[in-house]
Structure 1
Amino acid sequence: MDPECSRLLPALCAALADPRQPLADDTCLEKLLDWFKTVTEAESSLLLLQENPALVELLSHVLKSQDMSSRVLSFSLRLAGTFAAQEDCFLYLQQGELLLGLFGEGGPQCWAAWSVPTVRSGWIQGLRSLAQHPCALHFLADSGAVDTIFSLQGDPSLFVASAASQLLVHTLALSMQAGATGCSGLWDGVWPACAQKIMGHLEESLQSTAAPQVTQALNVLTSTFGRCHSPWTETLWGQLCPLVARLLERTPIPAAHSLVDLLLSVARSPALSSSHGRLWEAVAQALRCLSPMQAGSLALGMLKLPHCPQALRVQAFGVLLQPLACVVKATAQAPGPPGWLDGAEGSSLTVDTLLSSKSACVGILCQTLAQLEELQPLPQRPAPWPQEPLLGAAVTILRLCHGSATSSSSGGGRLCATLAGCVRVQRAALDFLGTLSQETRSQELEKEVFAVLSEYLGSPDSSPTVLKKAFQTTLRWLLSSPRTPGCPDLGPQPLLFLRELFPVLQKRLCSPSWEVRDSVLEFLTQLSRHWGGQADFRRALLASEVPTLTQQLLQDPESYVRASAVAAAGQLSSRGLQAAPDSPEHPQAQQGLLGELLCILSTDSEGFPRRAVVQVFTEWLRDGHADVARDTEWFIATVLQVVSQDLDWEVRVQGLELAQVFLVQRLGQPRCPYMVALPEAASATPIPEVLQSLCRLRLFDFAFRALLDCDRPVAQKACELLLFLKDKTAMCGGLQEAGDIPGSASGQVTLQRWRAGEQGQLPGDLQPEAMLALLRSTDLEGLQARLAQSSDHMEKSPQSLLQDMLATVGVLGENEADCY
């Protein structure tokens, strides 16, 4: 430990022990404890206590004075556990019965402060730190601490209860590791003393009629099998498996959710190779006995396991399919396809169960759709995958929610009434429908899908959130639609769908809901990006009013919509799909889309539209947009002049990205450090000309100022850009060193002024020589490394922490505090 810290410790310990002193806040105590943990990891805890007796005095004072604040008491308990984690220090503290007083039966549990959750939590955390060696195990078993941990499992504070359960898991694992011999993990078939006590408690809890006790035991076992993969866990499961199986025979089944978690944890454990037979029997029984909601989670977990037996996989998949099968059965005019419910016989789920309440129906359908969506892309999903029945079920559910489904059965009518307008189910079904787009399907089913999507996109009853999901699902189906080999155009069905959709989009673009207008613009941007070059799509789009309405939404009162309109208009313009102005007086006729976007960039009060404008400009520059190619230097200079003064850091970062794209186009791609160096191809533009243009554009001035930006992402991007420029100019043959360049004296003067703190005075008329001198004389690599570090990479001085805590209680003078 630092000598200065040792000098300050006695005064700090005295201040902590004095209940009259105003203490530093909890954050300081946490930082102090973290510092002690760091010190004890690097040094001997015993030596630390011997050299700093004030620490032992503080812990002893805790036992004598019961009026200590709960924060200091909790801190002291955790500190004692930190020291006692080393066995020799544990024995040293145990000699004076200090540990027994702090953690034994007659300790804090008997004090008034024990009613504070922070103290109970500190006691548990102290024991958790202490329990690292065999001596600690004997202490836990003999001091009564284990019994206290048992009681704290049911603590009213969830944090305390969870910490107590985790401490039991840790103690059981430590006990078994200390007593393990060979591969059995037991001493001649006998559990170690501490493990026996915990096992007895778990067995008793599993047989309890009180659901909370069963839950506590199951949670401990779940964490144990999840964290411990030693051979002894197989013996543990063999001993407790019958008790777990008996829980499934109770009515109702106690702690069903925790029971599912345990079965999944055991099934995933790599140490239970020879005990899986009894496990699979318990899982099969659980799938039959649990409610649909609980059985669904277990079924999905089993289907994700590559080593799950085939018979159990069939049963699990049947459990997942059962809710959808009930919906189809209740609404179908004819029997479902064969194989739809293979393995699902015997399920207790019926339409009546599904419709027991609206919340139950909605919950089970949402869970089932989400689980099947999660299962669909996995390589271990069941095969054959029932693509057509699942598509039919998803379409049926969407029509039930929309009110367009017809059914002559009473169950179907009740489903229609229950699901009508249910946003949760609609969103889940649309997500699932989008996932199914990746599989093959018949033309008839594809027609059904586009029909139901058309209903949702055109319905005035579709909520904005459902409409957004419908647009996302539509895009996925359009992208995955079968195409003619060698022809990238849309197929007949999707194209017909889009022709009918554009009038709907026109209507939606005029919606009073800004969320709807925003969703349509996002959808339109994606459509144009993927199919803007195809003749049939272009004709259908230009025959509508969509481009004109998109242009008008650049002036929308909602900033999110303006940003989406900027992106959509930019994409349409890139594809030559922008609207023609109605008259010469139209703003677009006067200044063009480029001018309108520049106006947004310089005048819009919100950051979202301005960011979108710079992103569009960057895409235009990459793609060689006609408005940019007409006078690229004027375009870059104009944009950077506006961006450099923007208050939004994301706009400035986007401006630097635009500048980097311009540099790459003029100088070539950056070199890969892992490639063998080859002679660089001649640049399309000679280096001296590029440097002259950078000076005219004041691009270098903009980038170097950005290095000093208070927002780190801006400085990082500027550093990246300048390093690229430095690399390109350094590799260019014929360039002299900065000090030898004619006229470089002005560059050195500029550099000196910049280093002297006059960064704000960086001249805007830098010449290439001065620019090179400044570029080569700056440690950009070092700056990049510093910028890559997190904001808290520098550790706060422990001495400073101790001084500030002492200054808080008035022990130090004001000039001795070193606030950080």
Structure 2
Amino acid sequence: MRFSHVSCAENCGLIMDPECSRLLPALCAVLADPSQAVADDTCLEKLLDWFKTVTEAGSSLLLLQENPCLVDLLSHVLDLKPQDVSPRVLSFSLCLAGTFAAQEDCFEYLQQGQLLLGLFGEAGPLSWAAWSVPTVRSGWIRGLRSLARHPSGLHFLGDSGALDALFSLQGDSSLFVASAASQLLVHVLALSMQGKAAGSPSPQGSAWPTCAQKIVDHVEACLCSTAAPQVTQALNVLTTTFGRCHSPWTEVLWGQLSPLVAHLLESDPIPAAHSLVDLLLSVARSPVFASADCGLWETMARMLSCLSPTQAGPLALGTLKVQHCPQALKSQAFKILLQPLVCILRATAQAPGPPGLLDETTEGGSMTVDTLLSSKSACVGLLCQTLAHLEELQPLPQRPLPWPQTLLVEAAVIVLQLCDGLAAPSSSEGGRLCGALAGCVRVQRAALDFLGTLSQGTSSWELMPQVFAVLLETLESPASSPTVLKKAFQATLRWLLDSPSPPTCLNLGPHAPLFLKELFPVLQKRLCSPCWEVRDSALEFLTHLTACWGGEADFREVLLASEVPKLTWQLLRDPESYVRASAVTAMGQLSSQGLQAASESSGHPEGQQGLVGELLHILSVDSEGFPRRAVARVFTEWLRDSHADVTRDTQWFVATVLQMVSRDLDWEVRAQGLELVQVFLAQTLGQPNPNCPYAVTLPKVTPPSPLPEVLRTLCQLHIFDFVFRALFDCDRPVAQKACDLLLFLKDKTAPCRGLQEPGDSSDVTSVEATLQRWQAGEQGEPLGNLEPEEVLAALRSMDLKGLQSRLAESSDHVEKSPQSLLQDVLATVAVLEENVADCY
């Protein structure tokens, strides 16, 4: 293949590093040699990313002229025997050629030697044995995607037979290849129609550009096919088109194809129903059709009535989310969503809500009943889908009004009772539902999630007794699985905290105190469960409940009368680390609310040393990180909230905690220790710098101490030893926190006039030398007893701003240079050759 030289009028300058240009011939030789093996696809992908960056920054044509080895590589791939071409290298070459041809002048240059036709035409890789490898087909599509960015590229696709190959690849055995082919067809269609005004293409399509016309003709043929896969392929292309393209020409396209789409509804069963739902919703969401009268709503209404209950659910939910959807269609969609729950209520002798709203839900009800009763899997699937859809719809502002809150709460309660085997069916259908749903964990989880969501908004306190009753039944049931119990605790918490109370009632509402008296014996039982997941869920529930209601007299009375505080204390020594961590958090919250007295006076030896001693013991000896992290968080919260056990001797508390935290191998514990220091500094120096990302909002505390006195205190507590050591921590989050903290302190001490200038004393030099050794990784030597002047000197001598900027960079900011990448690829090949030789 011969390429004529194209001279440049101006010297555009080097667009590639000279050293990289020097290495490129060797790289191309390795890739073109069938006997050489590149280690993996990762290095080739990095090379493609690099070439893309280079071509986007300059001229691809100039790049090829200055590095002819790149063209030689592409030509050599075509000159090799098909069986000698590595699929990996062939895929790379196809992507690389497309990257160069993305610029039109470079495209024309490559076309002179028919190189692009050889790589992407019908006589190229499509006829080779390597075409059977999905990687090659994927690389071919990626290359075409890059190439099809200008009119010349579009003409090439239409003339080279590439479009026909893409049509075929839509049904590829590889889902990745099939998806990429469909995506490329959408890309070509949108690019072909770019700039077309509304009405420019006629409804018959006689004015469509060539590529667009071929794609539309193919879609029409697929929509008329009797084969479901072809129908699915056409619908997927249209769904993506209407989802991405919001130009006026899409209205013309829909007008041309909508009769064929509507005709699909006449088949029984409807082919590719799921894809058809996606298409209709994609069109409905497009702003082009917000006010257009194109028969879309009539088609959606027809489809809602034609689909099975399981198929209609996603379409109904999507319809209700469309802002400009007609009200009649929304009403139809909402009734379809409600129908399974209405059938459940009727089968268990429950009234299906107020008259009027659901008068028409009997339409299609027999089909829903048939689905619910056809099999256990069908019943479970439909109910889980319905509950999930209604849960998603409930908090949305466009949800239908009036919202049938009472009906939905009653339905969720009945479903849970059916799962628990406690419902009383009033018909044979109800009995069959009991058998299908008894002990069904999937439905229980979905119903509990939905019931928890219903606590928000328009909940009525009259509904709380039946909600509390079914939640208590679920929590008490020995058949409830750990996941069901966790969701039951979550739903209980939401109803206790979210439900409104009548103005005349206590803050807890009229039903909560009685419910709590029944709940705490169950909570005690679950805290003693042999299953650690259950104990953990119960502790999390207790923590959240105490945080919200710890100050309520009714709650405190019930809690202190129970064994819950004592059991929580005992779980600090649980064999499972997750439970120990949750117990630490729960005890920390109980103590903050003054509710731990029962545990500390329980007569156990560990209770006599107090909760602080017990938590310090965990921080110092627990072998797992989760409990130690929990202790560090609790101590920080206690310091922030001026906990009584902390304020007795704050300096001793901070020093003791930091002594343990500084030796901890878990970086999150060390980072939490720095958070504790930040709180301590904020309380002693005043409010922190608002620019500090770790600033804390504190309650009113005693007036700040004079700065020199504060610095002496910090030195006496050896806080700087911990913070400076953390500044050079191997874990970046720890170093970041330490740097931010020291910057805050440096900012506070900048105007300090109460201390002498340190000068050039040997002590200051010794401190700086120690810090330099720490930075180099030698952290065995301590700083010793520091003086405030030495600390100030160290702070002023360090470039903390520069260090902060370096630490803020992502962990992968030190990228390998292109030169290193090329060297690594070449070195990898050499290593592979050595390994082959060593085998013999």
Asked if the contact 1:581–1:588 (Cα under 8 Å) also holds between the matched residues in 2, the reply is no
Q: 1:78 maps to what in 2?
A: 95
Asked if the contact 2:461–2:499 (Cα under 8 Å) also holds between the matched residues in 1, the reply is no
Give me the whole-angstrom Cα distance separating, in 1, the residues matched to 2:151 and 2:725: 61
Find the partner of 1:647 among 665, 673, 696: 665
Find the partner of 2:48 among 14, 25, 33: 33
Q: 1:572 maps to what in 2?
A: 590
Using the TM superposition, give the Cα deviation of residue 618 of structure 1 relative to its aligned residue in structure 2, in angstroms: 1.1
Give me the whole-angstrom Cα distance separating, in 2, the residues matched to 1:355 and 1:189: 52
Q: 2:724 maps to what in 1?
A: 704
The correspondence of residues 643-682 of structure 1 with structure 2, limited to 5 A, is 643-673=661-691
Q: 1:167-210: CA deviations, max 9, x gaps?
A: 11111111111xx4443353895111111111110000011111
Q: 2:199 maps to what in 1?
A: 184
SS at match of 1:741: coil
Give me the whole-angstrom Cα distance separating, in 1, the residues matched to 2:88 and 2:804: 42
The alignment status of 1:54 with 2:74, answered yes or no, reads no
SS at match of 1:271: helix
Q: 1:595 maps to what in 2?
A: 613
Using the TM superposition, give the Cα deviation of residue 797 of structure 1 relative to its aligned residue in structure 2, in angstroms: 1.0
Give me the whole-angstrom Cα distance separating, in 2, the residues matched to 1:582 and 1:264: 61
Using the TM superposition, give the Cα deviation of residue 753 of structure 1 relative to its aligned residue in structure 2, in angstroms: 3.8
The correspondence of residues 203-352 of structure 1 with structure 2, limited to 5 A, is 203-273=220-290, 275-332=292-349, 334=351, 336-342=353-359, 344=361, 346-347=363-364, 349-352=367-370
SS at match of 1:350: helix
Using the TM superposition, give the Cα deviation of residue 292 of structure 1 relative to its aligned residue in structure 2, in angstroms: 1.3
AA of the residue aligned to 1:20: S
Q: 2:696 maps to what in 1?
A: none
Give me the whole-angstrom Cα distance separating, in 1, the residues matched to 2:454 and 2:478: 26
Give me the whole-angstrom Cα distance separating, in 1, the residues matched to 2:330 and 2:186: 31
Give me the whole-angstrom Cα distance separating, in 2, the residues matched to 1:485 and 1:689: 52
The alignment status of 1:729 with 2:746, answered yes or no, reads no
Structure 1 residues 702 and 342, CA gap change in structure 2 (3 angstroms): farther
Give me the whole-angstrom Cα distance separating, in 2, the residues matched to 1:500 and 1:743: 72
Q: 1:68 maps to what in 2?
A: 85
Asked if the contact 2:198–2:248 (Cα under 8 Å) also holds between the matched residues in 1, the reply is yes
The alignment status of 1:687 with 2:707, answered yes or no, reads yes
Q: 1:201-228: CA deviations, max 9, x gaps?
A: 0000011111110111111111111111
The alignment status of 1:451 with 2:469, answered yes or no, reads yes
The alignment status of 1:793 with 2:813, answered yes or no, reads yes
The alignment status of 1:3 with 2:23, answered yes or no, reads no
Give me the whole-angstrom Cα distance separating, in 1, the residues matched to 2:106 and 2:87: 25
Asked if the contact 2:540–2:582 (Cα under 8 Å) also holds between the matched residues in 1, the reply is yes
SS at match of 2:374: coil
Query: TM-score with structure 2 length normalisation?
Result: 0.92
Structure 1 residues 515 and 753, CA gap change in structure 2 (3 angstroms): closer
AA of the residue aligned to 1:565: A
Q: 1:701-732: CA deviations, max 9, x gaps?
A: 10111111111111111112112211222244
Q: 1:260-290: CA deviations, max 9, x gaps?
A: 1111111111123454441111111111111
Asked if the contact 2:755–2:789 (Cα under 8 Å) also holds between the matched residues in 1, the reply is no
Using the TM superposition, give the Cα deviation of residue 643 of structure 1 relative to its aligned residue in structure 2, in angstroms: 0.6
Give me the whole-angstrom Cα distance separating, in 2, the residues matched to 1:639 and 1:433: 43
Using the TM superposition, give the Cα deviation of residue 733 of structure 1 relative to its aligned residue in structure 2, in angstroms: 5.2
Structure 1 residues 75 and 249, CA gap change in structure 2 (3 angstroms): same
Find the partner of 2:647 among 614, 629, 634: 629
Q: 1:51-91: CA deviations, max 9, x gaps?
A: 11111111111111021111001100111111101111111
The RMSD of aligned alpha carbons is: 2.2
Gap runs ≥5 in structure 1: 675-680, 815-820
Find the partner of 2:188 among 147, 153, 171: 171
Using the TM superposition, give the Cα deviation of residue 347 of structure 1 relative to its aligned residue in structure 2, in angstroms: 2.2
The alignment status of 1:104 with 2:124, answered yes or no, reads no
Asked if the contact 1:78–1:126 (Cα under 8 Å) also holds between the matched residues in 2, the reply is yes
Gap runs ≥5 in structure 2: 1-15, 693-700, 835-840
Q: 2:172 maps to what in 1?
A: 155
AA of the residue aligned to 2:118: G
Structure 1 residues 51 and 484, CA gap change in structure 2 (3 angstroms): same
AA of the residue aligned to 1:780: L
Structure 1 residues 542 and 618, CA gap change in structure 2 (3 angstroms): same
Using the TM superposition, give the Cα deviation of residue 230 of structure 1 relative to its aligned residue in structure 2, in angstroms: 1.1
Q: 2:697 maps to what in 1?
A: none
Q: Which moved more, 1:787-796 or 1:726-735?
A: 726-735
Structure 1 residues 34 and 440, CA gap change in structure 2 (3 angstroms): closer
AA of the residue aligned to 1:501: L
Structure 1 residues 553 and 579, CA gap change in structure 2 (3 angstroms): farther
Taking every aligned residue pair, what percent have the same amino acid on both sides? 74
Q: 1:755-807: CA deviations, max 9, x gaps?
A: 35455434131111111111122111211111111111133111111122223
Q: 1:301-346: CA deviations, max 9, x gaps?
A: 1111111111111111111111111111111155643134255453
Asked if the contact 2:353–2:404 (Cα under 8 Å) also holds between the matched residues in 1, the reply is no
Asked if the contact 1:600–1:610 (Cα under 8 Å) also holds between the matched residues in 2, the reply is yes
Q: 1:88-107: CA deviations, max 9, x gaps?
A: 11111111111111111111
SS at match of 2:478: coil
AA of the residue aligned to 2:433: L
Give me the whole-angstrom Cα distance separating, in 2, the residues matched to 1:697 and 1:461: 54
AA of the residue aligned to 2:709: E
Find the partner of 1:14 among 16, 19, 29: 29
SS at match of 1:492: coil
Using the TM superposition, give the Cα deviation of residue 388 of structure 1 relative to its aligned residue in structure 2, in angstroms: 0.7
Q: 1:818 maps to what in 2?
A: none
Structure 1 residues 765 and 108, CA gap change in structure 2 (3 angstroms): same
Give me the whole-angstrom Cα distance separating, in 2, the residues matched to 1:568 and 1:69: 61
Using the TM superposition, give the Cα deviation of residue 639 of structure 1 relative to its aligned residue in structure 2, in angstroms: 0.6
SS at match of 1:652: helix
Structure 1 residues 789 and 333, CA gap change in structure 2 (3 angstroms): closer
Q: 2:414 maps to what in 1?
A: 396
AA of the residue aligned to 2:48: L
Structure 1 residues 8 and 441, CA gap change in structure 2 (3 angstroms): closer
Q: 1:90 maps to what in 2?
A: 107
Find the partner of 2:393 among 368, 372, 375: 375
Q: 1:553 maps to what in 2?
A: 571
AA of the residue aligned to 2:475: L
The alignment status of 1:364 with 2:364, answered yes or no, reads no
Structure 1 residues 696 and 201, CA gap change in structure 2 (3 angstroms): same
Find the partner of 1:531 among 540, 543, 549: 549
Asked if the contact 1:333–1:407 (Cα under 8 Å) also holds between the matched residues in 2, the reply is no
AA of the residue aligned to 1:497: F
Q: 1:542-598: CA deviations, max 9, x gaps?
A: 111111111111111111111111111111111111144687963234311110110
Give me the whole-angstrom Cα distance separating, in 2, the residues matched to 1:657 and 1:583: 32
Asked if the contact 1:225–1:233 (Cα under 8 Å) also holds between the matched residues in 2, the reply is yes
Using the TM superposition, give the Cα deviation of residue 623 of structure 1 relative to its aligned residue in structure 2, in angstroms: 1.6
Asked if the contact 1:100–1:107 (Cα under 8 Å) also holds between the matched residues in 2, the reply is yes
Structure 1 residues 808 and 446, CA gap change in structure 2 (3 angstroms): closer
* Number of residue-to-residue matches in the alignment: 803
Find the partner of 2:538 among 517, 520, 541: 520
